[in-house]
Structure formats: C-alpha cells, structure tokens
Amino acid sequence: MQLGVARKLLEMTVDYAKDRKQFGKPVGSFQAVKHKLARVHTAIEDARPAAWYAAYAFARDLPDAARAASVAKGAASRAEALANTEALQCHGGIGFTWEHDLHIWLKRGLALQPAFGTPDEHRAMLAKIVLVTAAAGAGIGLATAKRCIEEGATVVISDKHERRLEETASELGVLGIPADVTQETDVQRLFDAAIAEYGRIDVAVNNAGLGGTANIIDMTDVQWNIVLDVTLNGTFRCTRAALRHMVPRGSGVIVNISSVLGWRAQAGQAHYAAAKAGVMALTRAAAMEAAPANVRVNAVAPSLAMHPFLEKVMDPGELEHLVTLEAFGRSAETWEVANVIVFLASDYSSYMTGEIVSVSSQHP
C-alpha cells in the first residue's frame, strides 16, 4: 500500500514537472527537480526487494518472515514519506496540489497532516489572529495566508483590488477587507475592522509592495514616488497601525517584506531598491522601539520568488539572468518564502527581533 502510494505520487509529480513551465522550460528540466524525482525513484526501488522478500518469506513460512516484514514496512514508509515531501515541494506547496488531484494521494499518505490532523500542539500558528496585506494575488501574500491557515491561524487578508480580494477570501474561507496602503484612512479602517471582528491582531504581515523598471536618468518623479509610497510608506503606515495596537497589549509580531535588492545593486531598480532598503531600516528601528513591550519586528528578504504575475510583467531574458544568481539554480516558490514568514511570526522565533532574514543565498 505505501509503495503504491509512493509510486503514484512519483508518477503524478513527473507528469506535472513535464507540463508546468518556468521561463519557457518544463520544471522537470531544472536540476533541483531532477534530483528530487531521482531521490524518490531510488527510495522506491530500494524498498522493492525488501517487500518482495517479505512476501516470499511469509509464503514459505520462513523463520525470519516477521523481521523481513518489519524491514519492508520501514523501507516502504521511508519511500512514501520522501515521495510526500518531494511531491509537495515540486508542486509548490499544499495549495497548488488541489488543482491536480494530488491531494487525494497525499491525504492517503498523511502528507497533509498540517491541514488534516496535525495535533494542535504542533501547529506553529494555533489560535493566532493574522493580518496579511496584498494577499489576493498569486504571490507571497497569498502563499503566506495559506500557510498560516494550515498552521492553525485565523487569517484576515487585505488587498487594493476588491474583486480579486472577494474571490480569494471566499476561496480561503477568511475575512477580506479592501485597503489601499497609500491611504492612511484605509489602513486605519483595515486594522479597526480586523480588531472589531476578532478582538485583536497577533501578527501583521506587511506584504504590499510595488516594483517597476526605469533607469535613474529616465525616471520620473511619479515613477519614483509611487514605488516609495506603496513599498516603503505603506509598510510604515501598517507597521505604525500594528504597533499602536500591539504595544499597549504587550504582545504581537510584525513581519515586513523586504528584498535582496535592499542589499545589492541592480540597474533599473533604484526606486525599488531604495524602498526595500528603507523597509530594512524601518524594521530594525521599529524592533528597538517595540522590544520593551514584548513586540517583535522582523523582515524577510526574498530574491526571486516566481509566480504567474511576475512571469507576465518581467522580461524572460531578465528572469533567466536572475535565476543564474541563485545558489539552487532556480527561483524560489512563494510557499518557500511563506515558510520563513510563518517561522518569524510564530513563537519558534521568540528571541528574534530586528532581523532581516534572506530567503536566498544573496545577502551581505
């Protein structure tokens, strides 16, 4: 049974890796994915002889039949567990598996324990109220909302785009509150509404940001100002609103979204890099101010986290170049960034504040 589940997971993941494309290439052509699939295949093949011998030993009533069965079960369990893990990673996390019926097999293999039965005491975000901005797209915000739900949190999402927000909130089964982070009245209304609904906010994930490409010599004041207003000023407004709620309570966590561009130079990204560097500085200063009240403030700095919208708005050649800068030779999946956000938002990081965590090999 376990080897059958592992084999089915491998087959479905191989098919998925052939069909899904990044930068015009099948996901299965990337070395990291090849390695994952090869590991699963090897684990299954290694477990087969043990299963065959156990069946033979029982059929012949050999004295070591019980031991052979134990060895076979252990090997099959390891193969199934590895297949579960690698299938989830190749598919981009739990949320994406529903589109391909993989969840049926993962559930049989208990790979979906975070969503279908992990003991409550093991859920990193159990009973926490989490607010995530810019969570109605296809990027890090949505992935973070999903991971927080899987870890037991009650989630509130926000976005400027009301129709998309309504659809996403309905899909996730959460409260959605429209807000434009460039408008102070919207930010206040967002936090007030979330607190009115649930009584508190334990975690604020300030994800809203805006990019663009323009060399400084050609950049207009409008281009500069809109990126700074959404990415830096918007993060400031949400951080301020969160602190005004959390500091009097004496608890809370803020996770801001920065970028490796806050550290390294990239032509055409002066406005975005300045904004993200500002988010880093804002995070450190806010952490020092909030620490006496037992409120933690950290940030993540992703590099290239791939999602469909990014593939539409960025030049394919530029994307391929950015991939060459990554240690793993591929872009991150949004759920991989969300996992780090969940860690920083949880009590597992209780002694961390003022930190900028790179979700990449690119850091100073």
Active site residues: 272
Dihedrals φ, ψ of 251, to 5°? Answer: -165, 155
User: How buried is 239 (Cβ within 10 angstroms: 0-12 exposed, 13-18 middle, 19+ buried)?
Assistant: buried
Beta bridge partners of 337: none
Q: What's the CA gap between 16 and 133, in Å, rounded?
A: 31
- Residue labelled with tokens 């003991």: 119
* SS3 track for 7-28: HHHHHHHHHHHHHCEECCEEHH
Yes or no: say if 106 and 16 are a contact pair by the CB < 8 Å rule: no
User: How buried is 219 (Cβ within 10 angstroms: 0-12 exposed, 13-18 middle, 19+ buried)?
Assistant: middle
Q: What's the CA gap between 155 and 152, in Å, rounded?
A: 9
Distance from first CA to last CA of the chain, Å, rounded? 48
Dihedrals φ, ψ of 295, to 5°? Answer: -110, 130
Task: Report long-range pairs for 68-77 (Cβ below 8 Å, ≥24 apart).
Answer: 72/47, 73/2, 75/46, 75/47, 75/50, 75/51, 76/2, 76/3, 76/6, 76/47, 76/50, 76/51, 77/2
